[in-house]
Amino acid sequence: MNLHPYILQIVFVLTGISQRILYDTSVPVSCRVSAELAMMLWFVLGTLFPALLLAAPPPINKLALFPDKSAWCEAKNITQIVGHSGCESKSIQNRACLGQCFSYSVPNTFPQSTESLVHCDSCMPAQSMWEIVTLDCPGNDEIPRVDKLVEKILHCSCQACGKEPSHEGALFNVYLNAEENMPAEGPSPHHYAHHQQEVEEPPASSHHHHEEEGDE
């Protein structure tokens, strides 16, 4: 049963009662102070409750229909080829998220009586860091080297589908550390500005060759 509308109605009713007591001069001062505090509490609950409803649901590890199966998500070792147009490619060791997470869809009813009709989990990075990989570009005097930012995956877990991790802070720290390590006598020949646009491009420029150690 969906209790969300009923809880909001209770909050509105209690807020109205508190307002009546607050503005009634025949009510003792102590009661009016209590009513004012109660009204503030209802206001806070009414403000925070929608935010709680929009929060991502927790991942599901077991389903009643399949008691013998569990969701799993692991970080598998791979060899990633980092490349750039006009530059020499470089191989690095990285990890990829691989697993099976639960998703389901319940038949709808009207009026809706089911708490959650659709649930979707996906195997995604739970912890990662960014690393600068420098590629040499022979024959290009203006840009002899290009720095590529590569996400190094540390751990993976089942998370809500469509969840967008925030990378802005991590990217800023990588560039900040790179600027601090530059020599004081002049700018570095590394090309940062051009690569900052490439981070937003889809990962089609990098080819992945998976080497799953556990299966061999």
pLDDT tens per residue, range 58-88: 777 777 677 888 899 999 999 999 999 999 9
CATH number of the 72-210 domain = 2.10.90.10
Enter the tokens of residue 95.
């990890």
Query: Can you give the pLDDT at residue 33?
Result: 56
CB 133 within 8 A of CB 82: yes
Kindly state the tokens that stand for 24.
């009634």
Q: What is the pTM of this model?
A: 0.51
Q: How far apart, in whole angstroms, are the C-alpha atoms of residue 77 and residue 80?
A: 10
pLDDT for 68: 80
- Whether the ω angle into residue 144 lies within 30 degrees of 0, i.e. cis, is no
Helix (H/G/I), strand (E/B), else coil: 207: strand
Domain boundaries, the chain: 4-54, 72-210
Contacts of 183 (CB under 8 A, 6+ apart): none
pLDDT of residue 66: 75
pLDDT on residue 117: 78
Q: What is the DSSP string of 86-109?
A: TS--EEEEEEEEEEE--EEEPPP-
Residues of the chain where predicted confidence (pLDDT) is lower than 50: 1-6, 8, 11, 13, 49, 51-53, 184-216
